[in-house]
Structure 1
Amino acid sequence: MKTKRRGLIRWGLLTLTVILGLINTHAQTVVRGIITEVSGRPLQYVSVVFKGGRGVATDSTGNYILRGTNNTTTIQISYVGYKTQLKTIVPGKEQEINIVMDVDPAFVNNVTVSTNKRAPYRNKGNPAVELIRKVIENKPVNRMASYDYVEYDQYEKLQVSLSNISDKITNSKMMRKYQFLFENRDTTKLEGKSLLPVYLEETLSKKYYRKSPEKTKSIITGEKRVNFGEYIDNQGVSSYLNRLIMDIDIYDNNIPLFTYQFLSPIADLAPTFYMFYIRDTITDANGQKLVKMYFTPRNTNDLLFRGNMFITLDGNYAVQKLNMFLSKNVNLNWVRELHVDLDFEKNEDGRYHLSKSNVMADAGITKGKGGGFFGERTVSFKNFTINKPQPDSVYAGDATVKLVKSDERDEQFWETNRHDTLTRTESKVYSNIDSLEKMPSFRRTMAIATLLIAGYTSLGPVEVGPVNAFYSFNPVEGFRLRLGGRSTPKLSKRIYFETYGAYGFKDEKWKYFLSTTYSLNNKSIYTYPLNFIRASYQRDTKIPGQELQFVAEDNFLLSFKRGNNDKWLYNNVFKLEYVREFKNHFSYTLGFKNWKQEPAGAIIYSKEQNGATVNVKDLTTTELSAEFRWAPHEQFYQGKVYRIPIINKYPIITLRFTAGVKGLFNSEYNYQNVNLRLEKRAYMSQLGYSDIVLEGGYIFGRLPYPLMTIHRANQTYSYQLNSYNLMNFQEFVSDHFAGIMIDHHFNGLIFNRVPLLKKLKLREMVSAKVLYGGVREVNDPVKNPQLINYPTLSGTPTTFSLKDQPYVEGSVGVGNIFKLIRVDAVKRFTYLNNPYIANWGIRVRFKFDF
């Protein structure tokens, strides 16, 4: 009996040993690390394999992760020009092995005789191009949209750092209080760069996609970003940075970065603009055979990438890995380096989905290694699930929804749900910026910067400004002084006041403005989404037909104008308006306006009465208005006075209805005005992009010309996008009109191919502006003398209606001069016989652009 029992025990131990051996045999071995050369520079595309088995290649930062289930105890590391190395590993365990590669002397000492001539590159008969065409042909199969349903978890991390800050700055007396910031530097992320993180934001979300009917839904479960306080629009900063570095879909024809469209290396037209070379064939850790493909631009100045992609040979012809960067010659401002790394994982159906995206950009004023900015956006994807139907309720409502208190998650939530652990340097950014924002010296510095940039300075609960309007001059008022200000949320979050007073030393008249605004959502009236009621009264001068963006009309620089700048009005305007915005970027404004206008300068209101010409002292009208605006996916930075738009590919539609009511508060006319405006940026890949504006209007009723549409004119020397740059103020009026403006940017398409010009990185643009319109007989003062006459100068008419032909002007411009200046030669093609006009002119525009 004992013998039998001992036999059972031996068999049991033997069975257990075999099971443990099998478990050990199939336990996963994970080896990770970074591979560098002796100088510390990371090496990419180094081959790391289990000896005699499968392997991987390092990414652009020199990192690798090798996984396997065999009992191999050795990995092999090889790279052309360096000594091959063998490293011992422990099977079945996760371990880190960092490797420094030594240069192979035999490779260095070899002498190769070659010729500068090389065979011309051709697409025809090129196996690399044939393979790329297979990838292009299979793009619909490999995109997320090929599935009926998709869902996954997404984690985004966006970081901005100051790079290579001079020791003179960090050790200066002014920076003594901020040494805690400079101690938090990262010298490992980018070779030769010392990075000081100043901005960090993180977002966790659950993503859903449905093919039919097509709908995407994003549920934000957590969001966190640094807060610089009241002086900076933190949400606007986030929108702007995410607009610069957007999501990258390699299967799209164009990749949006830095407000431009870069042609994808697997775009439909990629073989026309790129050159492709097959470099190697490898097998990854899962046994998948891959082709390593190198691609480079035919013209290095174009907005194109160069790099390597790994393509599967399983029939799907999918991209399994991609590392690419920009050429140093690319026609792009400020950006010194740009790297894009994409990693893909295999789905349960054998196809690949994006598992991680990393974009790194280094920007600065100089091309060298001086100070600048470094930005990095990392997006990772987990729990990728395909073809799992969800109830319709999941897709209902807005495309993006934030969970309640998603921005108030504690650190335990982030430690549990982050896809990647923050580095020590990254983790200190939140607390460092929070401490910085509370420092009085930092607040004073930001106040001074706000004064210089936005024109306002804070004095406790009020702000004084704008500074650039304190002094100006014009022919009517002469020397003009102005002082104004407004309240801030420090005074009240519900009620806001704004006012200014101005005095003209030539006309010796006071001008003033006062408004009171009541916030209905207990938020600042400058914070999106707006919801407020405002009442205001203004007595001031105005040029009829002048419409400005982002600057005050009495800005000092606008005092300089061409031609006869003698058409002015004194306006007394009372307004009452209700403004409401919604999170889907639909908004409406309901308004009441009582407007009394008095002619000034060369304008004289006169009409025929009882056979005699009499002057009209003033004109009064009362209007009721409604404006509806839809701007899907709109992004902007909220400044102190204006919203600065971050233009994207989506249209902006504005519909406005205005009704004049005779007899209401001394109003003299009945009329109805309908106006529709459409704005759109159209991207055309390598041909650049066009900013297109379509606008039309129609006025019903009988009214004098000052109440008609006075078309936007420009008599300054600046180039204005939304005005007619060779039209005089109040030159044309209409009661019905339609117009189109097109401003096309070629992004250096032509200049990049001119040997001498391409080094200057100039950019060419053309524009055309066409305006049709007219005045119906019932509103024509020539046929109805009882209406106010068109103004004249020395007996010569200066205001006209558009007749049988449109007003047309066009321009040819050169941009990116010194990276800031655009100069246009503008030509007027019609109505050349009108008096006091310019047939052509040179106009200048300043714009900070990438």
Structure 2
Amino acid sequence: MNGSKKIGIGILLLLSIGFHSALAQSTTVKGLVTDSKTGAPLPFVNVFLPGTQTGTATDAAGRYELKFDSPKDSIRFAFLGYKDVNVRIQRGKEQVKNVSLESTAKNLSEVVVKRRRERYRNKDNPAVELIRLVIDNKSKNRMEHYDYSSYNQYEKLEFALSNLSDKIRNGRLTRKYKFIFDNQDTTKMEGRSLLPIYLEEKLSDVYYRRDPEKKRTIVTADKKVSFENYIDNRGLSAYLNHIYQDVEIYDNNMMLFTNQFLSPIAGTAPTFYKYYIADTITTASNEKLIELEFYPRNKTDLLLQGKLYITLDGNYAVQKADLTANKEINLNWVRDFHLYLDFEKTADGRYFMNKSTLMADFGIFKGSSGIYGERTVSLKDMKINQPMPEAFYNGPRLVENVETTAKPDSFWVQHRHDTLTTAETKVYGNIDSLQRMKSFRRTMDIATLLLAGFKSFGPVEVGPVNTFYSFNDVEGFRLRVGGRTTPKFNKSIYLESYAAYGFKDEKWKYYFGGAYAFNKVSIYDWPIKAIRANYQHDTKIPGQELQFVQEDNFLLSFKRGNNDKWLYNDIYNLNFLHEFENHFSYQVGFKHWQQTPAGSLSYYKGPTLTDSVRKLTTAEFSLELRWAPHEQFYQGKNFRIPIPNKYPVFTLRAIAGVKDVFKSGYNYQNITLNIYKMVYLSSLGYSEVVLEGGYIFGKAPYPLLTIHRANQTYAYQLNSFNMMNFMEFVSDHYASLAIDHNFNGFIFNKIPLFKKLKLREVVAVKMLYGGLRSENDPNQNPESIQFSKYADGRSFSYTLSKEPYIEGSIGIANIFKIIRVDMVKRFTYLDNPLVAKWGIRTRFKFDF
């Protein structure tokens, strides 16, 4: 009997253990949550066990994974604006449950909710108290909190044509490209059919050291769609990544589409945002999160809205974020965007951002065809406080070698952090096939001619077309034709030439130039290491300096006031430019310059102006030092344009004129320092600030001194004085300050009509102090070349006195999204002859 009891007790014990073991079996459910109508993934859907606080939320791609030990046999999916769904599951197993949620939007018109509106306050608001705890703990939740960190990073940048009409897809000109139009994706974005046209992927190993701060990025693989025959791929990539910059929610300001948005956890955020606690959830790992909603106090300001998921473990870190902009802000081209941030817990209990996804719909009109852009950055294999050898951090910040980063498809399948969609996998081959089609190449040639102004003939391009015809007071009607080589001619050698003829002065002008790149790449491809040599025989307006624009551009032929003070120049140039990986560069050069006055400009000596000076000849040696931290360029095949960022640019130039070198007649030294800074002021917009100063040592005639940059065209120029006449002011020492501020619609967005038109307000002020020392002042030295005069005896040129030259402007920008119109007023030196006190100037600029 006792034995039977023991056996029975043993059996009951085994059954009990088995029963409890069954109850304790772990269940894993994962899958994808989508919209039932569009098939688009739904991020941040709540997935939880009914009647418990165990749950999770879908990520930016709509995927979820929930692990639990509860005996529950169903899970629930809940999302604002959608019907809740319960799904039966099998306990103790790993299973996939893909769910489609049905929108309740169609029923909203049948529901009327009335409640008393309470005044929002920060005081005694638990949501505000929570966000202040997040702000107070920002420093320890940043990745920079660690002395050392390293991780593997995957980046994917994609652009697609959105909602192309049947007329375009089935048009006579596009039928032959049917294989392109068939590759469409309807799951990425709700209500949008996407046709991928550009894809870029990059894998990198990133290493960070806090003190002294250094971040090294070693690119291990790089793959992108290539339009190399028509667009410089590196330049296109730099510009697109500038639009889709890395974002850090723990920064006070977040750069999105070249605009600065105040972070919802910035120190001043509670002044600009409203916060509400929406829910409390528990993750699969039993961590409690607060779901916090936030909205801008003023919907017209450049601010964000969305949801934050905050940890309650004492770190008060952001665990997830869903950010977008309210629909009423003044943002160009971007019809809608979402930024999703996911954070992963480290071994020490803190969180780091392991994935960010920025999705945007670009277009001119709401609901029409447009462009969809998406950038995903994923981090994994995070290592904390495992330093590399000290010498490792002394290497370049970015290591990228085209030969070592080109990897086969098998490598990408194994190493990319996420799989590509079917449409994405086809885009590389489709674009490659497209470029082999003669009709496409012919279309791109025409587009290049219209947009870039050059017609390609294999290794040579002819252009630019906007300089073929122009006119001025000295040359009259001017014709010009020119060309340049392309990398197809030779990657290391660049040649350029043009010839022009003026029908009024009946003179030929011409230019010959060449360059050689020692690093075997294009001479415009950063970092440059190249030598250049050229000779130019042509006209020039003294004091006119244009950036990125040819001086004989047809549109610049139209000028205000008197415009007949010109030079015939014969210039030989030789220089060597060396740029380094840390964005420091130096340039050494030699210039031999022979200038001959033309038009109403003439050079005379003596008190009676009888001693004519036909030519001035100088020989100059120069050194330029430039430092532009983190500078990026929009890189073309034969040009590059800097992309502004928040870092200053320093340029120091030193020029020495040497007498008796190739018949040079003067000894002098010229030093100038230029500092450029883009200053971002969050919702108040941004300012472009330029501070410049110069000093000329030695004695020199006034044409070799600083003739301040003037502008007599009707175009608004940031780097010139727009109400100053050509050659009006000359100095041998000066200091100038220019501030150009764009409010980005901060004021106009509060005025209904201006808000509807998306206009933006701009203001600018420019000041110039300067003067001439007595030895360089023609008024005190009759033996020097005297200031030229008008027919009535009044001088062309003047020296600045103790009073500065000042001009300012107010304007309206973003007219038709690209035009800026300024009313410019001149405040000082109004008694000088032929000056205009005010004027209207126009500028074209593409802004987001």
TM-score band by shorter chain is: over 0.9
In the aligned structure 2, how far is the partner of 1:577 from the partner of 1:434?
A: 39
Shift of 1:638: 2.1
Cα offsets for 1:530-559 (capped at 9, x unmatched): 222222111111000001112110000000
AA aligned to 2:540 is: K
Contact 2:22-2:92 at 8 Å conserved across structures:
no
Equivalent position amino acid for 2:827 in 1? F
Distance change (3 Å), C-alpha of 1:234 and 1:263: same
CA distance in 2, matches of 1:632, 1:697: 23
| In structure 1, distance between residues paired with 2:557 and 2:597 | 20
Contact 1:629 1:653 in 2 (8 A): yes
Superposition pairs of residues 86-485 of structure 1, within 5 angstroms: 86-101=86-101, 112=112, 114=114, 118-368=117-367, 370-402=368-400, 405-485=403-483
* Separation (CA, whole Å) in 2 of partners of 1:235 and 1:105: 44
Larger CA deviation: 445-454 vs 707-716 = 445-454
Kept in 2: contact 1:468–1:556 (CA 8 A) = yes
| Deviation by residue 1:590-648 (Cα, 9 ceiling, x = unmatched) | 21111111101110100018x77211111111111111211121111123553222111
- Which residue type is aligned with residue 95 of structure 1? Q
Question: Any conservation in 1 of the 2:40–2:186 contact (CA below 8 Å)?
Answer: no
Q: Structure 1 length as normaliser, TM-score?
A: 0.94
The answer to which of 90-99 and 359-368 deviates more is 90-99
Aligned with residue 712 of structure 2, among 708, 711, 715: 715
Give, in whole Å, the separation in 1 of the partners of 2:75 and 2:390.
50
How do residues 596-675 of structure 1 correspond to structure 2 at under 5 angstroms? 596-608=594-606, 613-639=610-636, 641-675=638-672
**Given that residues 719 and 824 in structure 1 are in contact (C-alpha distance below 8 angstroms), is that contact kept between their aligned partners in structure 2?**
yes
- Provide the residue aligned with 1:770 in structure 2: 767
The amino acid across from 1:215 in the alignment is K
CA distance 1:79–1:254, change in 2 (3 Å): closer
How far off is 1:755 after superposition? 3.7
Q: What are the Cα deviations for residues 418-462 of structure 1, in whole angstroms up to 9, with x where unaligned?
A: 110111111111111222223232222222111111111111221
Following TM superposition, by how much is the alpha carbon of 1:51 offset from its aligned partner in structure 2, in angstroms?
A: 4.3
* Mapping for residues 479-518 of structure 1, pairs under 5 Å: 479-518=477-516
1-structure distance, mates of 2:497, 2:847: 34
CA distance in 1, matches of 2:709, 2:521: 34
Q: Could you report, residue by residue, the CA deviation over 1:54-76 in whole angstroms, capped at 9, with x for unpaired residues?
A: 11234566443323355543222
SS at match of 1:545: coil
Classify the secondary structure of the residue corresponding to 2:585.
strand
Compute the displacement of 1:739 (Å).
Answer: 0.8
Contact (CA 8 Å) 1:226, 1:433: kept in 2 or not?
yes
Return 315-324 or 334-343, whichever deviates more: 315-324
Deviates more, 1:473-482 or 1:625-634: 625-634
Structure 2 partner of 1:528: 526
Q: Distance in 1 between matches of 2:778 and 2:106?
A: 94
Give the letter for the 1:346 counterpart.
K
C-alpha deviation, 1:205, in angstroms: 1.3
Q: Secondary structure at the match of 1:503?
A: strand
**C-alpha displacement of 1:521:** 2.4
The CA distance in 2 between the partners of 1:768 and 1:130, in whole Å, is 42
TM-score, normalisation: structure 2: 0.94
Q: Which moved more, 1:518-527 or 1:175-184?
A: 518-527
Aligned pair in 2 of structure 1 residues 508, 139: CA closer, same or farther (>3 Å)? same
- The residue type paired with residue 253 of structure 1 is N
Q: CA deviation at 1:702?
A: 0.9
Aligned-partner Cα distance in 2 for 1:79–1:340: 18
SS of residue paired to 1:843: strand
8 Å contact kept, 2:568–2:595 = yes
Structure 1 partner of 2:592:
594
Q: Residue 250 and residue 124 in structure 1: after superposition, are their counterparts in 2 closer, same or farther (change >3 A)?
A: same
**683, 689, 699: which one aligns with 1:692:** 689
Q: Is structure 2 residue 781 aligned with structure 1 residue 784?
A: yes
Q: How far apart, CA to CA, are the structure 1 residues paired with 2:525 and 2:532?
A: 15
Deviates more, 1:670-679 or 1:381-390: 381-390
Q: CA, structure 1 residues 120+20, in 2 after alignment: closer, same or farther (shift >3 Å)?
A: closer
Match of 2:586, as an amino acid?
Y
Give the deviation of 1:35 after TM superposition: 4.0
Secondary structure of the 1:664 match is coil
Deviates more, 1:611-620 or 1:85-94: 85-94
The answer to which of 359-368 and 747-756 deviates more is: 747-756
Percent of paired sites with the same residue: 58
Q: From the superposition, tell whether residues 465 and 15 of structure 1 become closer, same or farther in structure 2 (CA, over 3 Å).
A: farther
Residues 92/228 of structure 1: CA separation in 2 closer, same or farther (3 Å cut)? farther
1:76 partner amino acid? R
In 2, distance between residues paired with 1:493 and 1:112? Answer: 69
Amino acid at match of 1:675: T
Secondary structure of the residue that 1:190 maps to in structure 2? coil
The answer as to whether partners of 1:276 and 1:294 remain within 8 angstroms in 2 is yes
CA contact under 8 A between 1:81 and 1:108: conserved in structure 2? no
Which residue is 1:797 aligned to? 795
Distance 1:430 1:44, change over 3 A: closer
Q: Tell me which of 734, 745, 748 is aligned to 1:748.
A: 745
CA distance in 2 between counterparts of 1:646 and 1:322 reads 29
Q: Give the stretch that moved more between structures: 328-337 or 488-497.
A: 488-497
Aligned residues: 840
- Relative to 1, partners in 2 of residues 1:83 and 1:472: Cα closer, same or farther, differing over 3 Å? closer
Q: CA deviation at 1:397?
A: 1.7
Unaligned runs of 5+ in 2: 1-5
| 3-state SS, counterpart of residue 729 of structure 1 | coil
What secondary structure is seen at the aligned counterpart in 2 of 1:796? Answer: coil
* Paired residues for 1:5-20 under 5 Å: none
Candidates 517, 520, 523, aligned match of 1:519:
517
Give the conservation status (yes or no) of the 8 Å contact 1:32–1:66: no
What is the CA distance between 1:113 and its match in structure 2?
5.5
Residue 52 of structure 2 is aligned to residue 76 of structure 1: no
Instruction: Confirm or deny: 8 A CA contact 1:30 1:92 kept in the other structure.
Output: no
How many Å separate the matches in 1 of 2:379 and 2:200? 17
Structure 1 match to 2:842 = 844
CA distance in 1, matches of 2:287, 2:526: 50
Contact residue 823 and residue 845 of structure 1 kept, 8 A = yes
Residue 583 (structure 1) aligns with: 581
Aligned amino acid, residue 254 of structure 1: N
After superposition, what is the alpha-carbon deviation per residue over 1:14-36, rounded to whole angstroms, capped at 9, x for unaligned?
A: 99997999699555613222143
Q: What is the CA-CA distance between 1:668 and the residue it aligns to? A: 0.6
Task: Call closer, same or farther: CA 1:492–1:38 in 2, change over 3 Å.
Answer: closer
Q: Indicate conservation of the 8 Å contact 2:236/2:634, yes or no.
A: yes
Q: What is the DSSP-based 3-state SS (H/G/I as helix, E as strand, rest coil) of the residue aligned with 2:420?
A: coil
The 1-side partners of 2:329 and 2:289 are apart by 30
- Which stretch shifts more, 432-441 or 628-637? 432-441
1:84-109 Cα shifts (integer Å, max 9, x gaps): 44322234544322223457899979
Contact 1:655 1:676 in 2 (8 A): yes
**Contact 2:33–2:101 (8 Å) recurs in 1:** no
- Inter-partner Cα distance in structure 1 for 2:705 and 2:83: 81
Q: Cα 1:386–1:806, aligned 2, differ >3 Å: closer, same or farther?
A: same
Please give the secondary structure, in 2, of the residue aligned with 1:429.
helix
Q: Deviation of residue 678 (structure 1)?
A: 0.9
Q: Note if contact 2:38-2:191 (Cα within 8 Å) is conserved in structure 1.
A: no
| Structure 1 residue 177, shift from structure 2 partner | 2.6
Alignment partner of 1:737 is 2:734: yes
3-state SS, counterpart of residue 405 of structure 1: helix
Cα distance change of structure 1 residues 526 and 39 upon mapping to structure 2, 3 Å threshold: closer
**Whole-angstrom distance in 1 between the partners of 2:785 and 2:292:** 74
Does residue 33 of the first structure (1) align with residue 26 of the second (2)?
A: no
